[in-house]
Chains A and B, each alone.
Chain A
Amino acid sequence: MERTGYVVLFTLGMTVLVALLLSALFYGTKEQAAINEDVFNKRAILGAISDHIDTNVKSMSDADVLGIFNDQIEQVVLDMDGAVVDGVKAEKIDMAKEKKKPEATRKLPLYVYNKADGEKFYIVSVRGSGLWDEIWGNIAIGSDFSTVAGASFDHKGETPGLGAEIKDNPVFSRNFKGTKIYDDAGNYTSVRVRKGGAKDKMHEVDGISGATVTADGVAEMLYRGIKYYQPYFEKLKSGKGKPIGMLVE
């Protein structure tokens, strides 16, 4: 048996060495890791309007993602009453943190994509609960404030092959394209996820077999999440809102 002094010294030496090594590595990679995370999140947002971007969003370069964000996306932050919060960029809003706040004090990120032909798309961020953990998504809404132009979803820990299909199966998000969040009478309905297949293709999408709870979570998240943006959309529709171009410096 070694002397206690040696064991303590060995432990101390090892701990200090390992700590130094890892912190050096951490600080060395920190900056690039932050950039990577930023690009990853922005790519997910662009995923919602992938049909309106010429290059493939999944395989386009990091520089292209940031380029589109700089040139064609305006970032707006809203409060729950639909008023614009000045001085904050939408990308700084952490949806996970917002979800923990009381509803009335939450802030909402909104990304407005200006397509080259002048068409505008409003990309809203929603977050809810799946079967095991949180799920979230970005929904692009056309300039009539009703037609969904695309959607992208992600999750923390849904079951692969079942709930995880909301992200892995492109058909699920593709089905949202062309649905409407208002019915013909102008009432807010959001988009429902129908078990056994969509009956009303304008307001429903096909569910995923074996993933009823996740699909219900998606439907609930969409209903609640898109509704948060309605006060602001109402303002824009009635022409009372400031034109988007003036919102961001």
Chain B
Amino acid sequence: MAEATTAAKSAAAKSEPFFGKKEKVLITDPLYENNPITVQVLGICSALAVTSLIYPSLVISVAVVFVCGFSSLITSLLRTRIPKSIRMIVQLVIIATLVTAVELSLKYFSYPVYKDLSVYIGLIITNCIVMGRLEAFAMANKPWRSFLDGIGNGLGYGAILLMVAFFREFFGKGSLFAGSPAEMKIIGSNPDYFINTMAESGIGSMFSWYSNNNLMVLPAAAMFLIGIFIWIQRSRTPKLVDVS
């Protein structure tokens, strides 16, 4: 019976455009108006933990986009077959499989990044955004749309992560993309940096006129930053204020 209705639905889907307005919204909505972090306030734990540097945040973001997109796709493909009584466990297995795959490939392609992120990569399994989208969207929608929804939410999460990481790394370490091949050392108290803040006083002793903000390196800074982002977003878009 259930299969018959899905067959009817997929027949109707053929007339819909492959990437129309509705599909576009699935990607753009989570980027701003329905952002998983600033509006739904999901996935905060990892947003606090991994954002002290841009490069690891980028790796985590890509991993979450991948996991979120493909777990949505797989869940949606199986949605009529998954026994309702064990659906949460099935979703978890799908997520865990993909996360393990990400972990193994990271170990294969970039061991230093794996070393830095191993704990956090594993924690993607418990990222509320991924499971939230599976429960709320993929279980009730067709594969292609679920896939886009997953990708969109992953991107929305990643965008906030990178913004937070940019401020934390720049003000906390004086660098950008540290640890990656594109590392930029911008401001700091030794000659490695683009702006060397050590002014020589002539007698061999040196003083730095600038000091990094150590608070930025601590997870608490991410809390403040995300709070400020939410503030800015809600004052620009008043209709969000009553949403949650």
Contacts and interface: CB of A to CB of B under 8 A. Distances in A.
Interface of A: 1-2, 6-7, 10-11, 14-15, 18, 21-22, 25-26, 29, 32-33, 36-37, 39-40, 59, 159-162, 170-171, 210
Given A1-B84, A160-B52, A29 B97 contact: no
A29 B86 contact: no
B107 A33 contact: yes
Nearest to A7: B83
Interface of B: 52, 81-86, 90, 93, 97, 100-101, 104-105, 107-108, 111-112, 115, 172, 181, 190, 192, 214, 216-218
A171 B190 contact: yes
Nearest to B86: A7
Contacts of B108: 29, 32-33, 36
A14 B83 contact: no
B154 to A, nearest CB: 21
A58 B81 CA distance: 50
Given A2-B83, A161-B52, A171-B190, A210 B214 contact: yes
B118 to A, nearest CB: 11
Contacts of B83: 2, 6-7, 10
A37 B107 CA distance: 8
Question: Which of B82, B172, B192, B217 is the most central at the interface, judged by chain A CB atoms within 10 Å of its CB?
Answer: B217
Nearest to A10: B83
Given A39-B111, A161-B52, A25 B104 contact: yes
A161 B214 contact: yes
Contacts of A21: 97, 101
Contacts of A26: 104
A91 B85 CA distance: 51
B195 to A, nearest CB: 17
